[in-house]
Structure 1
Amino acid sequence: MNACCSSLVIFVSLSLCFSIAQAEPADAARVPHYTTPYVLPSVDQIKKQINRVRTYYESSSTQTIINSSSGEEITDFSEVIHQAEVSEGLSSEWSYTHGVVLSAFDYIDDVIDDERFAKNNTQFYDFVLKRLPYFQQKANQFGPIEKIGVWGRILDFHALDDCGSIGAAMIKTYQKNRKDEYLEIINRTADHISNKQFRLNDGTLARHRPQYQSIWADDIYMSVPFLVNMGALTGETKYYDDAIKQILQMAERLYVPEKELFDHGWSVTSGDYDPRFYWGRANGWVLMSMAELLSIVPEDYPQRDKILHLYRSMVRSLANLQHGSGFWHNLLDRPDTFLETSATAMFTYAIAKGINEGWINHVYGPVALSGWNAINTRILDNGAVDGTVEGTTFAHDNAYYYHRGQSIHAAHGYGPTLYAGVEMIRLLNNDKLDISVAAPNSINSTFHFRLKSEWP
C-alpha cells in the first residue's frame, strides 16, 4: 500500500511538472514575432526609398509626342498629324493621381531641399504648355477632341478629376518658378471648380454619376487642395470659404459620428437611407484634404475649428482600426478585406503631419511609424509601389469593394507613399519629441513618442 501511494505521488508530481513546463514557454516563444518589421527607420533609409520611387516614376515615360500608329517620336511640329498622341506612362499624365505625385515632389523639395523633385514639376508643366497648342491645332483641323490620351480632357474640363488635383500642384509649382504662362490653366481650373462644375442647390460639389445628383468623398480632394492653394495665391478668401463649405457640407451627408469615418458616397435619391461603405482611399482623400486646408488657412479663420474636430476624430478612429501589420483594410471596418497601400500611405502622412503641426497628440506617433514600416514593405527594389487598389467607383455592394484588383500600375499609391515618407522624415527630425525605441528581441517593449517640454 505504501509503495502504491509513493508511486502515485511520483506520478502526480511528474504530471504537475510536465504541465508547468507546458504552461511556461521557452524564452524564444515569449518574444513577439512581428509580421512587419517593428523598427525605427533612419532618415537616410527613408530618403533612399523616396528616391527609389521617384526614379521609377520618372522613368515610366519619355514625355514626348509620338505617332500612335508607328510609335515613333514626332519632332517636326510644323504640320499636324492626326495620329499624334502623348507618350504613355505615369509621369506623362495630366491626371489627379499625377497631381498628388507632383504635390508630393513640391513638398519634398521644401523639406529635404533636393532640387531634383522641383525640377521634375517644372519639366512636366513646361512640356504640357509647350505641346498643348499643337493639340488645340489638331482639334481645330480634325474636329473636337474629347480626350488626348493620357492628358484626358485638358482642352475642355468636364469634371473635378480633370483639373483639381493637378491644378493644385501647378499652383505650388508656379509659386516657386513664377512662370506666368501657367496662369491660363490655373485660372481656367478655378473657373471650372467655382462656376461650371455641377453642384447641389446648397453649393455642394456633386456629380451625376453613378446616380443622379451624387456626392463622392473623393471629390473633397479633387477640389479642396486647389481651392485653398488658390486662396493662398490670390489672397481671395472666397476660395477658403468654399473649401471649408465643401468639407462641412459633404460631412453632413457622408460623415458618420458613430464610426468617425466617411461613407464613400451618397445620392439625393437614396437620402437618409443610403447604404454605407467605409472605403479606405475615400477616407484617405478626406484626411489629406483636411491636412492641406489646416496647413494653409489661418488658425483663427471662421469654422476652421470644425475641420480640425473632424480631422482629430478620424485619426482617433483610424488608430483603432489599423491592422497589426501597420496597414489598413480596403474597407476600413471589414477586417476580412485586403490590406491596402494607398490608404495606408494617406493615413500615415496625415497622422505624422498632425503630430508635426501640433494638431493631434504625439501619442499617435507609433501609429504613423507602423504605417510607414508597412508601406516600406510594398516598395519594390525597382521603386514600384505595390498593393494599391485599382481605381474604384462609388459602389453599393460589398462584393465589388471586396474584390478590387491591386497593382503597381494603380497610380494612386505613388503620391501618398512619397508624402508619407517625407512626413516621417519630419517626424524623426522633430526636435520637440523624444522617441523611446522598442528594444529588439524583447518580451515587452514598444515605441513611445514623448513631448520633451512636458518632462522635467
Structure 2
Amino acid sequence: MYKQTLTLLLLLPFQFLFAQKSSLNKFPKGYTPEEVGKLIAYRFVDAKHALHAGKWISYPETFYWNGALKFASLTDDAVLLDLLEKKFQPLFTTEKALLPVKNHVDLNMFGSLPLELYQITKNRKYLELGLPYADTQWEVPATANAKERSWAEDGLSWQTRLWIDDMYMITIVQSQAYKVTKDVNYIDRAAKEMVLYLDKLQRPNGLFYHAPDVPFYWGRGNGWMAAGMAELLRSLPRDNKYRPRIMQGYQAMMESLKAHQAPGGLWNQLIDEKDSWAETSGSAMFTYALITGVKQKWLNAKAYAPVARKAWMALVPYVDKKGAVAEVCVGTNKKNDKQYYYDRPRRTGDYHGQAPYLWCVAALLEK
C-alpha cells in the first residue's frame, strides 16, 4: 500500500504537467479565448466592408461577422451584439444593393449570416432574408449550363465545382437552414454533397487536392474542408446514412494533420512542404476542427488535445494589439502551379484570417 501511494505521489506532478499541456480549458493570461475573442470581434464593429467583385458582401466578411456574433452570444456580451446587429441594419435599407446575388457558391453562403442572427434574436426578418440563399443553391436557374444541370440531376447543388473551398460555403448555409427549420432536406443534401467531395478530392493520406486538376495540398483550402466537416458533423443526425463516411473522412484528415503539424505548432501554406511558410488562416481552421473533434469525442483527447492546444498557443502571438491577425494568405484562385501557392502574398488583418480565429474562440468557449 505504501509503495502504491508513493508511486502515485511521484506520478502526480507528471500528470499535472500533462494536463496543463493538453488542457483546452485553462490558458495563461493573454491566451484565453475571452481575451483573444474580444480583441478580434470588437475590431469588426468599425471595420469596412470587404466586397466581392467590388459589389456585394464577401464570404470572408460574412464569416468574420458570423464569428463575432457567435462570440457575443457565448459571452453574453449584449453591447457587442447590439453593435453587430446595428451594423447589419443598413443592408435592409441604404446598403441593400450590397446583398449578394444568389448565383454562386461564394455568394449564396451569405445566407448563413442572417440565419445566425435569427438564431440569436428570433427576429423573422433575418429568417426570411437568409433561407432563400440556402434554397437557391439547389434551385437550378434558367441560365444554368449543361454541367450545372447535370449536377442537379444527381441531386447535388448546381453550384458544385469540386473546389475544396466549397465544402464550407455550401455546408454552412445548409446547416444553418437545417438548424432554424428542422427540415432534414437541408442537412441531407449538404451531407450528400460532402460525400461527393470526399470521394473525388481526398487522397489516401487524408489530405485534399485543391481541385481535381490542381494536385497540391493548399493550407486554407484544406482548412475549409476540415471546418466544413466539423460543422456538418455537429448538425448531422446520428442516423444519417452519410454520417459514417463523413466521419471516416474527417478522422483520416485529422490524423494526417497531426502528423504534419510543424514544430512551432502551425501548418504550412502547402501542408506537406517543409520549406513553405507557416500560414495562420488555414492553421486556425485546422485548430477549430481539432478542438471540436476533441470536445465532441470524435477524436481521442489524449492524442489530439495536445495538438489543438499547441496550435492555439502558436496562433495567438500572430494577433496584434488591435486584433489583426498576421501571416494570412490572400484570396486565392486555383492554379496548377506549385510555385503559385508559395508566392501568394500575405496580409495582416485580412478577413480570411480574422474569422477562423473566432471559430476557435467559440469552440474553446463552448461546453
TM bin, normalised by shorter chain, reads 0.7 to 0.9
Question: Quick one: percent identity of the two aligned structures?
Answer: 27
- TM-aligned CA distance change 1:180 to 1:422, over 3 Å: closer
Aligned mates of 1:163, 1:110 — CA distance in 2? 24
State which of 325, 328, 331 in structure 2 corresponds to 1:385.
325
- Unpaired segments ≥5 residues, structure 2: 1-20, 142-147
With 274-283 and 367-376 compared, the bigger mean Cα shift is at: 274-283
- Unpaired segments ≥5 residues, structure 1: 1-36, 62-86, 136-150, 208-212, 267-273, 431-456
Match of 1:300? 239
Match of 1:217? 164
* Deviation for aligned residue 1:403: 0.5
Match of 1:253? 200
Amino acid at match of 2:339: A
- TM-aligned CA distance change 1:155 to 1:424, over 3 Å: closer
Residue 230 (1) aligns with residue 215 (2): no
Match of 1:408? 348
State which of 351, 362, 365 in structure 2 corresponds to 1:422.
362
Residue 163 (1) aligns with residue 108 (2): yes
Mapping of 1:183-198 within 5 angstroms?
183-196=127-140, 198=148
Does structure 2 retain, via aligned residues, the 8 Å contact 1:57–1:384? no
Q: CA RMSD in A?
A: 2.6
Q: Flag the structure with higher helix content.
A: 2
Match of 1:124? 87
Does structure 1 retain, via aligned residues, the 8 Å contact 2:44–2:65? no
Does structure 2 retain, via aligned residues, the 8 Å contact 1:95–1:162? yes
Residue 113 (1) aligns with residue 76 (2): yes
Question: Number of matched residues?
Answer: 333
Q: SS at the partner of 1:377?
A: helix
State which of 193, 208, 228 in structure 2 corresponds to 1:262.
208
Does structure 1 retain, via aligned residues, the 8 Å contact 2:210–2:217? yes
- TM-aligned CA distance change 1:200 to 1:320, over 3 Å: farther
Residues 122-151 of structure 1: CA deviation (Å, up to 9, x unaligned)? 223322112245x4xxxxxxxxxxxxxxx3
Match of 2:145? none
Greater length-normalized contact order (CA 8 Å, ≥ 6 residues apart):
2
- TM-aligned CA distance change 1:54 to 1:335, over 3 Å: same
Residues 199-244 of structure 1: CA deviation (Å, up to 9, x unaligned)? 643344466xxxxx84211011111111122122222211111100
Residues 264-289 of structure 1: CA deviation (Å, up to 9, x unaligned)? 112xxxxxxx4411111111111111
- TM-aligned CA distance change 1:43 to 1:172, over 3 Å: farther
Match of 1:41? 27
Aligned mates of 1:170, 1:380 — CA distance in 2? 29
Aligned mates of 1:42, 1:423 — CA distance in 2? 17
Look at both structures and tell me which one has the larger radius of gyration over its CA atoms. 1
Residue 375 (1) aligns with residue 315 (2): yes
* Deviation for aligned residue 1:119: 2.8
- TM-aligned CA distance change 1:59 to 1:53, over 3 Å: same
Q: SS at the partner of 2:137?
A: helix
Q: SS at the partner of 1:215?
A: coil
Q: SS at the partner of 2:94?
A: helix
Amino acid at match of 2:355: G
Residues 391-429 of structure 1: CA deviation (Å, up to 9, x unaligned)? 011110101011001101421000101111332345xxx
State which of 320, 345, 351 in structure 1 corresponds to 2:259.
320
Q: SS at the partner of 2:136?
A: helix
- TM-aligned CA distance change 1:320 to 1:167, over 3 Å: same
Residues 337-380 of structure 1: CA deviation (Å, up to 9, x unaligned)? 11000011111111011111111110211111111111111101
* Deviation for aligned residue 1:52: 1.4
Does structure 1 retain, via aligned residues, the 8 Å contact 2:50–2:57? no
Does structure 1 retain, via aligned residues, the 8 Å contact 2:115–2:180? yes
Amino acid at match of 1:178: K
Aligned mates of 1:396, 1:355 — CA distance in 2? 35
- TM-aligned CA distance change 1:387 to 1:376, over 3 Å: same
Residues 49-82 of structure 1: CA deviation (Å, up to 9, x unaligned)? 2211123222323xxxxxxxxxxxxxxxxxxxxx
TM value normalised by structure 1: 0.68
TM value normalised by structure 2: 0.83
Aligned mates of 2:349, 2:31 — CA distance in 1? 24
Amino acid at match of 1:254: L
